[in-house]
Structure 1
């Protein structure tokens, strides 16, 4: 994600969270994926991804390889704690504080969107190493 897009997303998180039930649901979706990844349960992790993500990574094996290679702090970590969130027009941005397996701090920004069936699915995740210059 480009730095300017990251900053725009972070600015959205500075306002108070709306719709507490939506936030709780979003955190449950993210947590379900995080726990599935910890168990190497590809089908359960993949099930939390939005159809657009599944289209870009059209099999569980391809999706899991992308997570392992592109998102090691999400795949394996020491801690994973929710930070601020924002709800707007059926979309949710949720910040997550992560400490990776090597003890390095990261900020993840998950985006989720309400699907036609009313469920929430993960539409993206951006990582920024804490202390990294923007």
Structure 2
């Protein structure tokens, strides 16, 4: 009986440790950003739009209008050359993640994009806005 009890406690302890490691808000937000940038680089409007928050979707109610906005307003993201993640900041325990992304655009200019990532009720992160800064060095968040 004692052996079963110890086995059950050990199982719960190991499962808890795995769950804690799997839930990294910054890594999850970065994965969404990378996926959206990849979709934009391949002109996959539907996939790129799927990463937009409900607030963004209310402003751009379909994928074509969303992609037009990205093309006009966020050209360095739309045609990102190389990019790297910089600093990040969690607000409210991860309800919001601000993520700095340094982008080397195709025209050779460097940009910093500050992504606002919102945690959704289903546990996923969605892009809730991007602020573009023309610069050459990280300014922090």
Give the structure 2 partner of residue 120 of structure 1. 125
TM-score by length of 2: 0.77
Structure with more contact order per residue of length (Cα contacts < 8 Å, sep ≥ 6): 1
Q: 1:69 aligns with which of 69, 72, 78?
A: 72
State how 1:1-134 maps to structure 2 within 5 Å.
21-89=24-92, 90-130=95-135
Q: How far apart are the structure 2 equivalents of 1:55 and 1:81?
A: 29
Runs of 4+, deviation exceeding 2 Å: none
| Unmatched runs of 5 consecutive residues or more in structure 1 | 1-19
| Unmatched runs of 5 consecutive residues or more in structure 2 | 1-22, 137-141
| Deviation of the 1:77 alpha carbon | 2.1
TM-score by length of 1: 0.81
Q: How far apart are the structure 1 equivalents of 2:48 and 2:80?
A: 16
More helix by share: 2
Q: What SS class does the counterpart of residue 32 from structure 1 fall into?
A: helix
